[in-house]
Structure 1
């Protein structure tokens, strides 16, 4: 692969990653718009409607043969693991938003890039440049300070960080493309999700069918679930895993703003310190990336 194509792939991965994290950053607004439905019911609708959407997409793109060819016992086992991880992540996140703990959820996604860096170095053998390490250390100080000031909700933050970090690692190494992987994951989650929704409907307790507006909101959950996950999975395959680290602070930053400015959750002085440290880390990481790119460009120029 040429340098130009390498840069094109990296640029595409960057745009996909930015799109996914921006989408996730404002997602709490949609969950609140649903009127406080139970987290498990929202999760189940996300899964079922996502599967229907993905069936349409895979059929339109004529990708069924590719999806079937990629499925092996090992791939299926890995996707079962990633499906479980993303289901746990979604459930805890939706519950946190509905329980007025969006700040705790945002902390989880502030921690998540640090988990990604650790996994990238420990599992994938990726290496950090010196200033990348400094950037991560500065951001880590902010995350630790925030964690120590919120011990009662720390389980929310850690569950979200670890579940999504390991999910991303599995999706990076599993031998299937982003669309096929998401299709299989969603198909694995659909039977229990559909069974739960049918049980709710049988008891007359489900939200679906209560009105055209609510039904439309629930159906759209499929789109807002599948789109950013596809973008994330594609970005994870195009970028070094450690390079996703500080890019991922976009989502929790937006969640942080939504929690304070829209939901009115309490903002303490500690949050200002944490926010400053994390974005200082982002600035150092960005500066080092630009510097390294310029050095590579100079080194590859003909003598």
Structure 2
């Protein structure tokens, strides 16, 4: 009989892969931004091509009955509409941030997101939050306050990213719908508005799609969007929110490194704020390691 640790090992590996993709995705947007693609154009193409790729995966995995069932359920239709709005907002703010010199602040948003997941797991789902987790949240919260002083204003980019994606994860965890089927429905909601915008944009001579070398990058926004979201939807229903919270630190750390290499400002005070956040991550990691060790001992 598989132990709890072995049952979690595969979802954990997939979650790590998912957040590595998200962490390095700013590198993908650099060529698009270089030839003039703006945030709205990128988001619109993401919405259109994500539906195409999600549809292909649904076809290959024979999940059309699940898609039809989701559309047939008033509750699922409503909840997936809400999650589609959350994810579209998250996409928009993130793409604008990483293409306008705010990559480091966007990384802060995804440092905050795991903390929201930890707190939500304790409050909403009664997941146990030990002293290590509480200390981690306190340290990271202090880091956020220092960050606000460092940049001279409320870090709205970071807060928006944290709240939208944190809420998305919490809601998707509660929906009884396969990951791909739910993702397809979300993309379907976004498809028509995005297509209308792109037709209007191209008709006014402002688009970049009809240059083959540029179209290639826009089409790739489909798999770049669908693969990590599908993985996230899959693992979010199989891992405790506290575990997801720990793994999610991989993404923002990767993004932070990219922002530093791009030459974004990183003052001493900003460094202090991230030091608090990293300390929180390490404290929680140590607590997670202790819990995993206890599980292994209990199953011997």
Would the TM-score normalized by the shorter structure come out above 0.5? yes
Residue from 24, 27, 51 that aligns with 1:26:
24
Q: CA deviation at 1:144?
A: 2.3
Q: Provide the residue aligned with 2:45 in structure 1.
A: 45
Equivalence for 1:11: 9
How far apart, CA to CA, are the structure 2 residues paired with 1:136 and 1:247? 15
Counterparts of 1:57-206 in structure 2, within 5 Å, are 57-71=57-71, 72-152=73-153, 154-206=155-207
Contact 1:89 1:164 in 2 (8 A): yes
Q: Distance in 2 between matches of 1:148 and 1:126?
A: 33
Deviation digits for residues 173-223 of structure 1, max 9, x if unmatched? 1111111111100001101000000111221211110x2110101000101
Q: 1:297 to 1:97 in 2, by over 3 A?
A: closer
What are the ranges of 5 or more consecutive residues in structure 2 without an aligned counterpart?
none
Where structure 1 has 5 or more consecutive residues not aligned to the other structure, the ranges are: none
Moved over 6 A (4+): none
Contact 1:259 1:265 (C-alpha < 8 Å) held by counterparts: yes
Q: Could you give the per-residue CA deviations for residues 251-301 of structure 1, whole angstroms, max 9, x where no partner exists?
A: 11111110111x111111123323332222222222222222222333344
Cα distance in 2 between the residues matched to 1:238 and 1:265: 37
Contact kept in structure 1, 2:236 and 2:244, CA below 8 Å: yes
Tell me how large the CA RMSD over aligned residues is: 1.6
Structure 1 residue 162: deviation in Å?
0.5
Q: Which segment is superposed worse, 51-60 or 84-93? A: 51-60
TM-score by length of 2: 0.94
Are the counterparts in 1 of residues 5 and 296 from structure 2 also a CA contact under 8 Å?
Answer: no
Residue 277 (structure 1) aligned with residue 276 (structure 2):
yes
- Pairwise CA distance, 1:118: 2.2
Count of equivalent residues: 297
Deviation at 1:55, TM superposition (A): 1.2
Structure 1 position 151, deviation (Å): 4.0
Q: Is the CA contact 1:48–1:190 (under 8 Å) kept in the aligned structure 2? A: yes
